[in-house]
Each structure stands twice: as structure tokens, then as C-alpha cells.
Amino acid sequence: MSVLVDKDTRLCVSGITGREGTFHSLNNRRYGTDVVAGVTPGKGGQDVEGIPVFNTFHEAVQETQANTAMVFVPPRFAADSILEAADAGISLIVAITEGIPAHDELRVYNHLRRLDGVRLVGPNCPGVLSPGKANVGIIPAAFFSEGNVGVVSRSGTLTYQIGNELAQRGFGNSSIVGIGGDPVPGSSFIDIIALFEADPETELIVMAGEIGGSAEEEAADYIAEHVSKPVVAYIAGFTAPPGKTMGHAGAIVSGSAGTAVAKAEALEARGVRVGRTPTEVAEVAAEIAGSLRR
């Protein structure tokens, strides 16, 4: 098993005719993901190397039974595209786009949570990879193999770094989920950790957080109450000065809120082991996995 994406995923890509959209759609298909459609308004009837393009999500869903959307359009069109996908009945929307206005994200979030059975991952995220099954997004799949570590992260390249350290110690992954670095992510650490807890293939969960907001602290409380599987955490941004946005729109320490120290302490106080470097995360994971096997 795995979470969110697998062999049943039928992917429709919004913005498939753009340079990046085409490149990653074909990359995902090459990995084995069933890319059934694309949407670009005004380009309906065309195709991208055999993938049919539609004018609307509604048409795409009707014609191809797509159940998952990947959003690749520029920031000013992205919120609209997410809402369109949801309206057309798509149940999982993965938004890769970076730079969506915060108020757009707020409206999208509050609208989607009122609908039944629709989940947004991202925006500003690298997507979801279930090794050996499906890849939806831009995660370089070559570095990951099938296994039983579930990874959830606010950052793309940091995920690759940690995944690589885990791989060097012989770990594979059930799924790798990038929830994105924006202030209002569609899915939180808690949402994804709950999926990993329920997934029989996942034995160990690794979460990679960073400064800003309080999602890690909330996850710490949730883990203490609801999660039976071991969780290893990493937090980036111990050296970040307050008031400066560290690349991700959501990565900012405001006043005394959102610091890496506070997050690491909150997690440790709830019994979650926190690795101080990506290398240490993998070492702790190896130690825990060793004790699980005994």
C-alpha cells in the first residue's frame, strides 16, 4: 500500500501544454503513472504525445474518468484551476505552482474543506511519489525505492536529501508527500501523518518541517494522542533571523513565534525524536527500525 497516489491514480494535468507541464507530465507517465488527460483552455482537441487535452476539467473528467489533478499553471490562474478541478469532481488535487497569493489560498482552503471527499496537497510543493506505483509531481523518482518509511515534508530538495540519507541506510518509502512551503497548505502534517498511520505498509514516519507557523507543534500534539507508529522529525531554520522570509512564503519567524527551537522542543516534549541534521534523522530512523525488527 501507499498513500494518495498508486496504480489506481488517473491523472489530469492542468497546464499540460506549458513547457514545465509537458516535461513533468511525460516524466510522470514514463514512471508508470496513468496520465489520462490534460487541461488547457483553448487547446481542447490537441494532444501532448498522445495525452488528450481538454478545454475544461469537467470535460476531461467526463471523457477520461480522471480522479487526480496536478496543477502546473502560473500563480494568477492556479487558485481558479484548483477550484475548477474540485468542481469537476476530482478527489485529489496536487498543486505544484509556487507564488499563489495568500488570500487566494485562504479562500480555496475554506471552500474545499466544506466539500466532501476532496483533498488538496500543496500548493508550492513537489508532489507525491509512491515508489513503484505512481509519481505525481516533480520529485526525482530515481532516488527512491519501495519500502516502509513514509515521508512528509514542507520542502522539496530537503526531502530528497533526507530520502537519500535514508536510502543509503537501506530504507525505501511507502510514499513521499510534499505538503509545500506556503502559509496555507491544503494538507497539513496531521492530515498526511493520519494517512500514514492508517497505511499498513508504512512502519515509520519521517516528517521534515521548517520555521514559520505552528503546524509542527500541532502535529506534535496529534502524534502524542493518535499515532502508534514511530515518528522521526527534522526542523530546518535554526539559524534563520526573525522577520526574514527564508525562501518559502511560509518560512518566517515573526517575533518569538515559529522558531525552529520551539518546534523541536514541542516535538521532543511529545516523545518525537528530532534529528539535528538530515544525516542524524537517517541514523535515528535506522536505530528505531533496528529495534522494530528485534
Partner 1 sequence: MDLLEYQGKQLFAKHGVPVPAGKNAHSVDEALAAGDDVGFPCVVKAQVQIGGRGKAGGIKVAQDKDELERHAAQIIGMDIRGFTVHEVWIEEASDIELEYYAAVIFDRAAKKPLVMLSTQGGMDIEEVAERDPTAIARLHVDPLLGFQEFHGRRLAFEAGVADDVVRPIGAMLKTLYTTFVAEDATLVEVNPLVVLKDRSVKALDAKVTLDDNALFRHPDNAQLRNVSHEDEQERMARERGLTYVKLDGDVGILGNGAGLVMSTLDVVAQVGGDPANFLDAGGGARAEEITSAVEVILSNPKVTAVLFNIFGGITRCDEVANGLIAAFAQIKPDVPFVVRLDGTNDEEGRKLLADAQLPNVHTEATMLDAARRVVELAGSAS
What number of other Cβ atoms are within 10 A of residue 45's Cβ? 9
State the Cα–Cα distance between residues 167 and 80, nearest whole angstrom. Answer: 38
Candidate list 143, 194, 265, 288; residue touching partner 1; CB under 8 A: 143
Q: Which stretch binds partner 1 (CB under 8 A): 29-37, 144-152, 153-161, 194-202?
A: 153-161
251 binds partner 1 (CB under 8 A): yes
Distance of CA 115 to the CA centre of its chain: 20
Whether 137 contacts 11, CB under 8 Å: no
Q: Is 248 a catalytic residue?
A: yes
Q: Are strands 273-275 and 173-178 parallel, antiparallel or unpaired?
A: unpaired
Whether 174 contacts 202, CB under 8 Å: yes
Give the C-alpha distances (Å, rounded to integers) separating 291 from 75, 116, 174, 240, 275: 46, 40, 19, 35, 17
Candidate list 3, 156, 189, 197; residue touching partner 1; CB under 8 A: 156
- Selected catalytic residue, list 103, 111, 226, 248: 248
Q: How far is the CB of 230 from partner 1 (least distance, A)?
A: 22
Which grid cell sits at 161?
Answer: 536529501
Site string for partner 1, 35-74 (x = CB under 8 A): ----------------------------------------
Whether 48 contacts 20, CB under 8 Å: no
Candidate list 6, 41, 183, 201; residue touching partner 1; CB under 8 A: 183
State the sign of the Cα–Cα–Cα–Cα dihedral 174, 207, 138, 34.
Answer: positive
277 binds partner 1 (CB under 8 A): yes
Candidate list 2, 17, 130, 159; residue touching partner 1; CB under 8 A: 159
138 binds partner 1 (CB under 8 A): yes
Q: How far is the CB of 227 from partner 1 (least distance, A)?
A: 20
The CA R_g of the chain, rounded to the nearest whole Å, is 19
Residues 201-220 that bind partner 1 (CB under 8 A): 208, 210-215, 218
109 binds partner 1 (CB under 8 A): yes
Tell which residue, 69, 72, 107, 109, has the closest CA to residue 89: 69
- Interface ranges with partner 1 (CB under 8 A): 75-76, 99-104, 106-107, 109-111, 126, 138-140, 143, 153-161, 164, 181, 183-184, 208, 210-215, 218, 234, 236-241, 244-251, 255, 260, 276-279
- Positions marked active-site: 248
